[in-house]
Structure 1
Amino acid sequence: MTKRNNIHFYYHNCEEIVNKLEPLFELVNKHDFNIVDNHEDANVIISIGGDGVFLEAVRKTGFRQDAIYAGFTLGNLSSLYCDFSLENFNDLLETISREGMKVRKFPVIKVQVNGLRPFYCLNELTIRSTIVKTIVLDVFIDERHFETFRGDGMVIATPTGSTAYNKSNKGAIIDPLIPSYQVSEISSMNNNNYRTLGSSFVLDKSRKLTLKEIEDGNDHPIISFDNEAFPIRKIDKIEITMDDTVVKTVRLKNNSYWDRVKRMFL
């Protein structure tokens, strides 16, 4: 087993956060871990902040398959991805130094826009209108036309992302042990010209979802990958699939995915 003793901290560099982290850095050094500046030299990547910072950390470090991710919160923020705080940081160090450490694997979606290089999303992909006008999308499942959507946009969510924007659009919460992704509408129009399913639907990992934009006076929608938005000048086709890429996080005893869902919402 490879010893995991090189830690990279990802956080927003401001004086307030740095001051709070000084005792943590001292604790890391006392436990014979190394703090590295370059994430490529790390085998443990720890984000400092809430879920948004965790998503940034995963994206900015390239969805590392040979590293373990862990989330650390400052304060009492409710969080799905961040299991640790100032009070139990020592537990994190003990956990990652233990042989046979169990990890949690979160599936991600792979997105290609116009056939260009792929993006990965841990939470969701969204495509939305940027003007006061609906967008029109032809929806294909495994290359077969399924429906023509007209509305404000669509959310394609991973299982862990199902608790976020997807949930606010009345989508279901999906167990991350089920490798799948969910498609939810944002304010769809249903009339004699356009007819959609009108509810979220879940696709197995093996399926391919394709969205083709129909030019109708709104040719510049905005796409967001997790919490980062990208204005793409012209969108012809978006392909969404799932491969074997996952995000591996520290798995704690008595803190399952559903324990955290309960903590956040109930």
Structure 2
Amino acid sequence: MTQMTFNTKTKVAIIANGKYQSKRLATKLFNTFRDADDFYLTKKNPDIVISIGGDGMLLSAFHMYEKQLDRVRFVGIHTGHLGFYTDYRDFEVDTLLENLYTDKGEKISYPILKVTVTLSNGHQITSRALNEATVKRIEKTMVADVVINDVKFERFRGDGISVSTPTGSTAYNKSLGGAILHPTIEALQLTEISSLNNRVFRTLGSSIIIPKKDKIEIIPKRLGSYVLSIDNKTYTHRNISKIEYKIDNKKISFVSTPSHTSFWERVKDSFIGEWDS
């Protein structure tokens, strides 16, 4: 029998939040993988990233490894109040381990968002978002031109604008009144945040679904400080000349196992729950 080496083992990273339950599960998984012949624990260039906590922890894990999306797959364990991205509850760790032992490398992939911010001095900042990216003006009402695929669509006035991915359509986008999109639909969704609509100022007022091939540009018309949120990270920039949004050429991939919950099952469990037929 040929002895297995580190090069043939599946490299696993375990990322957990600070909750007691998450730490306890992380310790259990660490001890299990440490003694396993088929796995190698490391946070450097892992094949699988196990996120323990909730959606916030999964977002953090995504951004930790967003430059390695071509090779890494994610799996989430839910120990919080809402786990839209998680396939396993805290009491299903043994099931997760069984599925990983029989894993054949299959994956389920979802589109993500690429955001490029151009400052007035020409400097560009590029980020990726799993859920959404929002922009708001700090001092006063935000005034910005919305350009869709080089068509000047509207002049927006209001609190801000959110652009979400299909998976992110169930997050902040939904609370703004946007539509829920199935993640197999590779599209962006633009949703206004408290727009001004009266006899003088007018915007479309509803969310807009934009196909993969198109891009969105937000061009602020006033100088000042703007708050840009990328998932669970927030940045402040002065004098933004343009923000461009489009579907990234990379995707996030999750471990495909028998426990992978369907999208509509996640939506039902998260927002509706059980109901009498």
**Taking structure 2 as the reference length, what is the TM-score of the superposition?**
0.86
The correspondence for 1:175, drawn from 179, 182, 201, is 182
SS of the counterpart of 1:244? strand
Q: Determine if the alignment matches structure 1 residue 162 to structure 2 residue 169.
A: yes
Structure 1 counterpart of 2:249:
244
Larger deviation: 184-193 or 139-148? 184-193
Tell me which protein shows more strand as a share of its residues.
2
Q: Distance in 2 between matches of 1:110 and 1:66?
A: 19
CA displacement at 1:3 relative to structure 2: 6.1
Of 3-12 and 46-55, more deviation after overlay is shown by 3-12
- Identity percentage over the alignment? 34
Residue aligned with 2:124, SS: coil
Cα distance between partner residues in 2 of 1:3 and 1:95: 18
Contact 1:78–1:263 (Cα < 8 Å) also in 2: no
Unaligned runs of 5+ residues in structure 1 are: none
CA RMSD of aligned residues (A): 2.1
Match for residue 125 of structure 1?
Answer: 133
**In structure 2, distance between residues paired with 1:69 and 1:20:** 17
Structure 2 counterpart of 1:58, one-letter code: F
Deviates more, 1:118-127 or 1:253-262: 253-262
* Change in 2 beyond 3 A, CA 1:101/1:37: closer
Q: 2:155 is matched with which residue?
A: 148
Q: Secondary structure at the match of 2:34?
A: helix
Assess if the C-alpha contact under 8 Å between 1:4 and 1:44 holds in 2.
no
Deviation at 1:241, TM superposition (A): 1.0
Conserved 8 A contact 1:127-1:154: yes
User: Which residue identity is paired with 1:206?
Assistant: K
Runs of 4+ in 1 over 3 A off after TM superposition: 12-20, 99-102
- Distance (Å, rounded) in 1 between the aligned partners of 2:239 and 2:66: 25
3-state DSSP class of the match of 2:181?
A: coil
Tell me, yes or no, if the aligned pair for 2:228 and 2:235 is still in contact at 8 Å: yes
After TM superposition, give the deviation of residue 4 of structure 1 in Å.
6.3
- Corresponding residue for residue 69 of structure 1: 74
Say whether the 8 Å CA contact 2:14–2:30 is kept in structure 1: no
Q: Which residue of 2 aligns with 1:88?
A: 92
Give 2:220's match in structure 1, choosing from 213, 217, 225. 213
- Taking a change above 3 Å as real, the CA distance of residues 4 and 88 of structure 1, as seen in their structure-2 partners, is farther
Structure 1 residues 174 and 16: CA distance shift in structure 2, 3 A: closer
Asked if 1:261 is matched to 2:267, the reply is: yes
2:106 aligned with 1:98? no
Residue 194 of structure 1 aligns to a residue whose secondary structure is coil
Aligned CA distance change for structure 1 residues 171 and 70 (closer, same or farther; 3 Å): same
Q: Are 1:123 and 1:226, in contact at CA under 8 Å, matched by a contact in 2?
A: yes
8 Å CA contact retained: 2:14, 2:51 = yes
Number of the residue aligned with 2:53:
49
Unmatched segments (≥5 aa) in structure 2: 1-6, 273-277
Q: Quick one: distance in 2 between partners of 1:194 and 1:251?
A: 48
Aligned residues: 259
Contact 1:125–1:156 at 8 Å: present in 2 too? yes
Shift of 1:253: 3.3
Instruction: Compute the TM-score of the two structures, normalised by the length of structure 1.
Output: 0.90
Structure 1 residue 91: Cα displacement: 2.4
Given residue 97 of structure 2, which amino acid in structure 1 is its aligned partner? L
